[in-house]
Structure 1
């Protein structure tokens, strides 16, 4: 357990998530699809209703009291998110729709202007489609080339290959912090050092790391970092892009319209200061406020407690599932992974497995998890994935294993 971490009171935390009391045909819900979307505690939902009931108004547009209250809450939400990941200030936090939009913002606002023939973008074989497809398509538009750091047999990055692939022609390294399929936690600070030695930027996809582990973007020294609220007890439709202030300041806006401007004439436009330069139009105000509330909830629970509890569940699931020889689990060993386990059962398609365990109230993911090229490397068309969070229990892992055993018997 973490140095400053005490055991998590799971029973008390579960009471904050009413959805966990649901039953299907008398069978209690076991929610193990947290890597896709986590559940949302009452206080975060209430922060949204409070906004609509008490101070619903557009931000940065009005002199009246409601607009002032909404503007302050929305701006302070940026401060809360900035503090959560160790950013220097709100200027470095752009609210986006999700991690995918954050990736696209940088790819279009920076990549289209800065990349060209002879330039390289280095990614990894374990990238989510949000990273891989985005940079792939930008490379096609600019004439740049995408190169991929391979994985080892145990699902880690081949760092010797990384040092060879990242060269003076590399302009961007885009790497997932924690793989949503393998559970691998990548050495992003080391990759940042390598990238910067070649005058390259590095973009870290933190969608699976920010909800589960302490992140300090200044300690990592990444140039960009992105994550989504809906994977960390927050609402859908809101995420954040961190970017070093000097880089964001030099970038052109990605979208144009209201609120991202200072002065407009028929001939030209002066753009707004950071971060508003990249938040055109009416933003997701209530979602941004709820995002901050989710961050504060996580901080109240304790990110170290969340990490220790969730990774313990993943290790336990790894060990229980490994009791049978017909199970293949992807990625590093039980004590070296983020809180998820992706696996396959011999002779049983992942979709069939997910359907059967769903009959026992267990919600897991099945498919390629937006990592089709990685699954090609693994030699699997799909995999089943159980992922854990602060409100899950060992008893729920046991329920998963029992449901998997039932599926095994059905297809025996």
Structure 2
């Protein structure tokens, strides 16, 4: 079998490119996927005991202000009216998050108007001049003051990075936004929601064309020579790890990874909200997801006496771990420049997605980037 286009990886970037090549140009596409399912980290599935849809690789919340992306994804799924809100647990009390008037008034125990809250934070942040900050802790204090930093940033950051914030570069953060309103919507995008029938149904719909063949449980590097020999003129869109493609010739790029502990709890409602951050050091996890709350419209389908929670832990990725977030140290950035030069010189191969470009991409960003690649690089090549 010969193909017009080969896509390595079936995350949202890869699926978007494959779908566009099939639907717009009528091209035959092969998608090679190492995992046993489509969709990359956006994949979701029903927990078998309860039927509650869980996001296998951590919570995925779709939001965008890009109308083209919104119109595109609505070809494959409808969306609920879900709006993401987060709470932060500190010393046994759940606070509204992100930091805004709700949190400020609750934490300091009195009402502050927007103007009063601005003055309070400015006074507390004046302890350290931002330009004089030598590490992440000093930078954070210079932005929001010591009380809020110590309660909500210090220990959470230490858990995320497995490093004392005093040992992290000041440049790791450029801003810590504080909202001087009671609006606690986590995202401010024009469009937001969750796929009505779940992520798996959406992702499978993207690949349903007869022109798209998907090979699951297939390692590209084990079949690359055979597939490229069969379709020597077919461009390759590679969305796997950039350094792996070049056999780590310039070194291994650093990533953080996530571990998850999922359990069925014998209660109908564990925490009353989809996501609760745990900001204190006494808890080894960074947050708990409770998936039933992502889809309140399904309450009649979910059990009333059981719920599913997922504890999330953050750490540096080892060799066999799933990479999630680029660490982006100066050494990583230096390596990345060398890998980009190699990628640019690789004839007939296009690198995209989170892993293929070594940058964190929200779902809507991955889709927008894939649409741009298809329009600007692949369309003329495939015609």
Give the shorter-chain TM-score range: under 0.3
What TM-score results when the alignment is normalised by the length of structure 1?
A: 0.23
Structure richer in helix, relative to its length? 1
Considering Cα pairs closer than 8 Å and 6+ residues apart, tell me whether 1 or 2 has the greater RCO.
Answer: 2
TM value normalised by structure 2: 0.25
